[in-house]
Structure 1
Amino acid sequence: MLADLEELVLCESFSADHEAVTRSAAVVAAQGARLTGTAPEVLTVSGVPHLSWTFGTPRVLLVGHHDTVWPMGSLATHPWSVTDGIARGPGVFDMKAGLVQMFHALGSLPSPEGVRVLVTGDEEVGSTTSRALIEEAARGCAATFVLEASADGGALKTARKGTSWYEVEVLGKAAHAGLEPEKGVNAAVEAARQILAVDALAEVVNTSHGYDGSWRTTVTPTVLAAGSTGNTVPARATFQVDVRVPALAAQRQVDELLRALTARTPGASLRVRGGPNRPPLEREASAALFTLAQEAAARLGLPPLTAAAVGGASDGNFTAGAGCPTLDGLGAVGGGAHADDEHVVVDTMPVRAALLAELITAARG
């Protein structure tokens, strides 16, 4: 398993570099073919390669991705290494170890009959070319297991917040800031007013739905830009908004509230672009499968599994949104996703592969 993991990590696969992702897809395809005995179908959409294996009539869908957030050349600063039982390297935790575990789990079964595997190449940038493939595959299955990395301590991810992204554009009117500022309409000032209004939306939604604690809606203004020169009243300003929601009702309410924004500065106008990207993976979608996983762990003599609800999204959001029961976080145990400390605890890899194999057997009937 370590040799296979090294092979995947050494083939860098930055999402924005389609040539690199294509090379990575070839390596993943060869590894999967060796361990399952079957070559995948390569589905290339807008230059991004995705890999699909189908064994008989699928009942269980396994989902993962082979692209990473690490720019090309990251191996020079974050080299592959295994020291004191810890594997490191770009993408090792998110989520190349999960792919290795998945292929070894499939290879350990007497037959992969009833399983479909989908490994995508653009998850880290929103799954824009793979979303339709994921949703179509999920609709035909009774269960989806997502090989994304686990939460802290190996916890399975039984809920994920849904995500939305917006850009609010403010249009004003330029004027000389020293000679006649009164003739302008200051888009930066209007943007400031709108940012305060947007910042207050989360409290409105959380109050109306009774959300509290960490499992609540967040509406966060992020990137802000305004103006053209230091002596000109800004004629245009933009700011982006990151939205995370625990339930579909909250996602819809935030969307309605953002689209209802109105300008507060006379002469200014607003345009709101964007919308929901991933629906939430709600606890109800994973509850039965988590129980199944607990039973599988007990049969293997493993300690009781733990569950976690997380703010980050994955392709499991899409499978749950398509109506397929979904259990996430079945991949690597470790930490540091997207960060300098990205790592995997090596001796957990065969254990997680065994757990997945037992789960597949139980779920496909």
Structure 2
Amino acid sequence: MTGLTHDERTLLAPVERAPILERTLDWAAINSGTGNLDGLAAMASRLADAFAVLPGEVSLVEPAPVEKVDATGQTHEVAHGRHLVVSVRPAARRRVILTGHMDTVYAKDHPFQTCDWLDDNTLHGPGTADMKGGLSLMLAGLEAYERGGPTLGYDVMINADEETGSLSSAPLIARLAEGKLAALTYEPALPGGIMARSRPGSGNYAAVITGKSAHAGRNPEDGRNAVVAASDLAMRLAAGKREGLSVNPARIEGGAPNNTVPDLAIVHFNIRPRTPELAEHARQMIEAAIAEVSVRHEVRIHLHGGVSRPPKQVGEKTEKLFGLVSQAAADLGQAMTWKDTGGVCDGNNIAACGVPVIDTMGACGGAIHSPDEFLLADSLDARAQLTALVMHRLDRHGVAR
């Protein structure tokens, strides 16, 4: 470790892999799929106990209401787990936000539920990289930082719905991000330890199409076929893609028996705009497609949803924050680069608040969102040291060192 001061070496010396790994294994054994409310409650309780070692107030925040369109075209509220918040030195003049998520993509009935070792360094298990290992090393890094006479204040926010878009935690993220000096988010690093730079935005939609039923043989001309209109809409949406904007019609629901003209269909689709300008272009394209299909097929279309993850842009402040993080990594002997990526996360929401964010501070691993997910154990203590050092240097020097 070159480039470290004596105080920094002393700060980092107590960080050990074993307790971080033990905690990761314990947390990975709890199924906390976004829809598993009992599992999320158990995970939140375990996290609250663990993060109570920090000198701050631990609280569980109720989720904001979220509605979803069902197969009948009706909206209903979707239940979510509570979100964990730890507030340390809330009166400090300079404050940081650190975020992560307790939920995973693996439902309670998913076959991938246990961990095993592929080799001495590769832990195969659900949520190990995304992101229970990241949460564990975040805590270890903050514990180390607290031993160095800290003055920086910070909030830790661990939500229960990141994997489905953070809809019930978005207001909480925006409130906690306001006025922060910087943000660190513990998504897993990309293969090879590469950090994510800019990210596109993401929007999820459901277009509910109401036509008119009729007998398919006796008087089909009196009907207005919602499935045909849905197909037309899906094709028009797909044709709206362009450089920097993907449009994915993902599912069509609805229909009727073969002898009936169907009067209901629902088109579910996702957009990924790379810039705010492309997000606006997508909005206009969607509105135009809906208007054209409504007139052509004489149907009514009601659109639900919107862009919940704004495009994550990289400005001067974020460049400076990456410079601080990458220099800290270099001083620790951890090679680091960053590149643009296609995924989205809570870093999108934080960046939209004008706060510089590095959102891949978590563990190294791979194959996330699949039964092959794995964690590299040697990244646990390495990334915990990185967290402690970054927090220490933010405290001493601010973002621009």
- State TM-score, norm by structure 2: 0.83
The CA deviation string for residues 144-195 of structure 1, in whole angstroms up to 9 with x for no partner, is 0111111121111111211111112222221111222222222222222221
Aligned residue type for 1:363: L
| Native 8 Å contact 2:29 2:113 kept in 1 | no
- State TM-score, norm by structure 1: 0.90
After superposition, the Cα gap between the structure-2 partners of 1:232 and 1:307, relative to the gap in structure 1 and judged at 3 Å, is: same
Q: Distance in 2 between matches of 1:196 and 1:173?
A: 21
Quote how far apart the aligned CAs of 1:62 are: 0.7
Picking from 132, 142, 155, the partner of 1:116 is: 155
* Number of corresponding residues: 351
| Native 8 Å contact 2:112 2:126 kept in 1 | no
Q: Which runs of 5+ in 1 are unaligned?
A: 207-215
Q: Distance in 2 between matches of 1:44 and 1:242?
A: 27
| Native 8 Å contact 1:164 1:242 kept in 2 | yes
The CA deviation string for residues 338-365 of structure 1, in whole angstroms up to 9 with x for no partner, is 1011110111211111112221122233
Aligned to 1:318: 349
Q: Distance in 2 between matches of 1:289 and 1:122?
A: 27
Q: Is 2:288 the partner of 1:278?
A: no
Aligned 1:28-67 pairs, distance under 5 A: 28-34=47-53, 36=54, 38=56, 40-45=58-63, 48-56=81-89, 57=92, 58-67=94-103
Q: Which runs of 5+ in 2 are unaligned?
A: 1-19, 65-79
Picking from 202, 206, 220, the partner of 2:248 is: 220
Aligned to 1:347: 378
Picking from 2, 17, 23, the partner of 2:36 is: 17
The CA deviation string for residues 13-54 of structure 1, in whole angstroms up to 9 with x for no partner, is 1211222211111111222224x3556222233663222222
Counterpart of 1:4 in 2: which secondary structure? helix
| Native 8 Å contact 1:151 1:308 kept in 2 | no
Aligned to 1:104: 140
Aligned 1:104-183 pairs, distance under 5 A: 104-109=140-145, 110-111=148-149, 113-114=151-152, 115-183=154-222
Aligned residue type for 1:59: R
| Native 8 Å contact 1:161 1:312 kept in 2 | yes
Identity %: 30
Question: RMSD of aligned C-alpha atoms?
Answer: 1.9
Counterpart of 2:214 in 1: which secondary structure? coil
Counterpart of 1:225 in 2: which secondary structure? strand
The CA deviation string for residues 109-147 of structure 1, in whole angstroms up to 9 with x for no partner, is 224542221111221222222211111111121100111
Q: Is 2:109 the partner of 1:81?
A: no
Q: Distance in 1 between matches of 2:380 and 2:309?
A: 29
Aligned to 2:284: 256
Picking from 323, 329, 333, the partner of 1:301 is: 333
The CA deviation string for residues 269-312 of structure 1, in whole angstroms up to 9 with x for no partner, is 32222111111111226322211112112222332x11132222
